[in-house]
Amino acid sequence: MTVPLAKANILVVDDTTANLDLLTALLESNGYLVRPAISGGLALAAIQNQRPDLILLDIMMPEMNGFEVCERLKADSDTAGIPVIFISALNETEDIVHAFEVGGSDYITKPFKRREVLARIENQLTVITQRDQIINYYERLDRMKQQFIRSATHDLKNPLHVIYGYAAILEDMDGPAFERSGREFVEQMYGGIRKMQALITDMLELAQLQTGANVVLERVDLGLILQQVAQNFLPMAAGAGISLELALPPEPLPAQVDEKRIERALDNLVSNALKYTLPGGRVLLNAVRMKQQVVVSVQDTGLGIPEESLPHLFETFYRVPLESHIGIEGTGLGLSIVKALVEQNGGRVEVESTLDEGSTFFILLPLAES
């Protein structure tokens, strides 16, 4: 839960009505929602009723003093996270030390200085907002981790079952039966092994990239990298009956990047373009200077991607849920790897695509200063 600062709900606890009125007026005029409580007991009841975002708590009160109220709140996991700012009379050092001991977050002294009161409240609200953001972040990370493990387990177990099943059949086969169908089964086993191999390789690469280690930034000409990538993929393109073309401007395209990683990102994009394009299609590699950026694009006339899939494309294990896509071997990790590689180099990836027409993937990198 993130608390918008000005709308925070504050409980003010003080046995002196004059103080309650003063603080209530001050806070309300600054946009806070304020609930006053005249004793410790009433404060606890009010908190039970509705959890405040912050409590201003007077120390010296009859019956139950502020320390005791605070101790009770801190002992209950539902209320332990609510920041408590103690109100104390000036120069009561002992009190102030004890206020922190019982779990208080801060203190203000009487007589009140309006700006100080507001600053201390804002400070505590900022702290809890940041704390909630951090908790949300870790919860999201944890969900991602769980999802990653579920997908990886599923995708590794499936081919393993296939291999295991065929191995069991082969074990019981006699010579003639092996001659009839055994070789076909061995082929199936190799298929399963290749799937596991691809997945393990991609998962290890992604895990290594996430540590962000060993990024070596050097000034390189992206045009030269693109030429090299195009050269490497020519045989594969020819084998698939796809024309692979390269269009570069005459001037160099300098960028401060890790050459190996950018080459690897481009490898993945070109390999996808060839994989998801039918024979007779075309793949075009292009790079241009746009303001302070170099924009590299890999464009294909392939299967294309439905609009609803575009926001998920760079998620780990995501594959477009269409027969035409799923039928092609893949791990769903390639584009997550591309994204990690490019972002480590201070760039970003984008995609435009129309189903049944083709896709263009863009890598945007900052142009190196000349």
Closer Cβ to ligand ADP, 345 or 359, answer by number: 359
Using the rule CB under 6 A, which residue among 5, 72, 318, 364 binds ligand ADP? 318
Q: Are the CB atoms for 341 and 261 separated by under 8 Å?
A: yes
- Outline where DSSP puts E strands in the chain: 9-13, 33-37, 54-58, 84-89, 106-110, 218-221, 243-247, 254-257, 282-290, 293-300, 348-354, 358-366
Closer Cβ to ligand ADP, 104 or 330, answer by number: 330
Tokens at 196, concatenated: 């596991």
Q: What are the DSSP calls for 334-358, one per residue?
A: HHHHHHHHHHHTT-EEEEEEETTTE
Lay out the site mask for ligand ADP across 98-117 (x = CB under 6 A, - = otherwise): --------------------
Closer Cβ to ligand ADP, 117 or 273, answer by number: 273
Residues in the chain: 370
Inter-CA distances, 295 with 18, 204, 344, 366, Å: 66, 28, 16, 9
**Taking contact as CB under 6 A, which single stretch among the options 57-65, 133-141, 285-293, 316-324 is the one that binds ligand ADP?**
316-324
Tell which residue, 272, 285, 206, has the closest CA to residue 243: 285
Angle at 190 (CA atoms; ends 146, 159), nearest 5 degrees = 25
In angstroms, give the least distance from the CB of 345 to ligand ADP.
Answer: 18
Q: Does residue 332 touch ligand ADP according to CB under 6 A?
A: yes
State phi, psi for 257 to the nearest 5 degrees.
-140, 170
Write the single-letter amino acid at 146.
Q
Q: Does residue 284 touch ligand ADP according to CB under 6 A?
A: no
Q: Does residue 203 touch ligand ADP according to CB under 6 A?
A: no
Closer Cβ to ligand ADP, 92 or 315, answer by number: 315
Q: Does residue 302 touch ligand ADP according to CB under 6 A?
A: yes
Residue ranges of the alpha helices (H) in 172-221? 175-177, 183-210
CA distance 293 to 144: 32
In angstroms, give the least distance from the CB of 342 to ligand ADP.
Answer: 13
Site size toward ligand ADP (CB under 6 A) is: 20
Closer Cβ to ligand ADP, 107 or 317, answer by number: 317
Q: Does residue 340 touch ligand ADP according to CB under 6 A?
A: no
Tokens at 43, concatenated: 């404060």
CA distance 120 to 202: 50
In angstroms, give the least distance from the CB of 314 to ligand ADP.
Answer: 8
Q: Does residue 334 touch ligand ADP according to CB under 6 A?
A: yes
**Taking contact as CB under 6 A, which single stretch among the options 34-42, 102-110, 303-311, 340-348 is the one that binds ligand ADP?**
303-311
Q: Does residue 347 touch ligand ADP according to CB under 6 A?
A: no
Whether the CA torsion 330, 335, 336, 342 is positive or negative: it is positive
Closer Cβ to ligand ADP, 120 or 319, answer by number: 319
Using the rule CB under 6 A, which residue among 43, 44, 273, 295 binds ligand ADP? 273
Q: Does residue 320 touch ligand ADP according to CB under 6 A?
A: yes
**Taking contact as CB under 6 A, which single stretch among the options 94-102, 180-188, 286-294, 329-337 is the one that binds ligand ADP?**
329-337
Q: Does residue 359 touch ligand ADP according to CB under 6 A?
A: yes
CA distance 344 to 203: 17
**Interface with ligand ADP by CB under 6 A: which residues?**
272-273, 276, 300, 302-305, 313, 318-320, 325, 330-335, 359
